[in-house]
Amino acid sequence: EPEVTQTPSHQVTQMGQEVILRCVPISNHLYFYWYRQILGQKVEFLVSFYNNEISEKSEIFDDQFSVERPDGSNFTLKIRSTKLEDSAMYFCASSVSGTSGSPQYFGPGTRLTVL
Amino acid sequence: RKEVEQDPGPFNVPEGATVAFNCTYSNSASQSFFWYRQDCRKEPKLLMSVYSSGNEDGRFTAQLNRASQYISLLIRDSKLSDSATYLCVVTSIKAAGNKLTFGGGTRVLVKP
């Protein structure tokens, strides 16, 4: 069964450093997403991406965040200057289509720890 | 008011019993509805979509009540492996984006 994969599984960084989280969506999916989950809190939407453009982004997704599809398989989330409050689990997801009924499938996540 | 509200639980369920819980949503424009399950420190996994007429998938039954803006999940013949947090998820009508809005989850503990 096709799966979304994410690397690394755990990233530890110092405050102010840049981090890049990587995802490989399911191969025939065209819509990609990033979500985050702070420990003990609910899953929160960050950004959706289609056809090399951001479709929608949340208030959390400020100028410190960016996304990119550098090649035909990877989808990345970059945080330019990490803050302590960026510590969270970051999930990548993908879906076949962008209609609201199209289920999204999640990767195993990257646990980001900012010290 | 939270967009998607769930009773956090935990619901302690004897193995083999039936458990049911609801989720309410505030946006009447909500279009699609899902139940995901999440094991501790793992990713959300799609359990089932929720259709207007209600739907069943094995031991799981989901219902949607648009008038009262809630969805429900019923688990029959609970197994130990059903222990997890169940996430209620909604999307709204939008031209692009397909953002999922999550509830805080309902924790279910199935005990022997």
Averaged pLDDT in 10-residue chunks for chain A of 115 residues:
94 98 95 96 96 92 95 93 97 90 94 98
- Please report residues of A whose CB lies closer than 8 A to that of B104: 41-42
CA B112 from centroid of its chain's CA atoms: 23
| CA distance linking residue B24 with residue B11, whole number of Å | 17
- Contact residues, chain A to chain B, C-beta under 8 Å: 31, 33, 35, 41-45, 48, 50, 55-56, 58, 89, 91, 93, 95, 98-109
Q: In whole angstroms, what is the distance from residue B45 CA to residue A66 CA?
A: 25
The reported pLDDT for the residue numbered A11 is 97
| Residue to substitute from A33, A46, A48, A104, interface B, most B β-carbons within 10 A | A104
pLDDT of residue B98: 83
Three-class SS state of A64: coil
10-residue stretch averages of pLDDT, chain B, 112 residues long: 91 98 90 95 95 94 94 98 97 74 97 96
d(CA A15, CA A13): 7
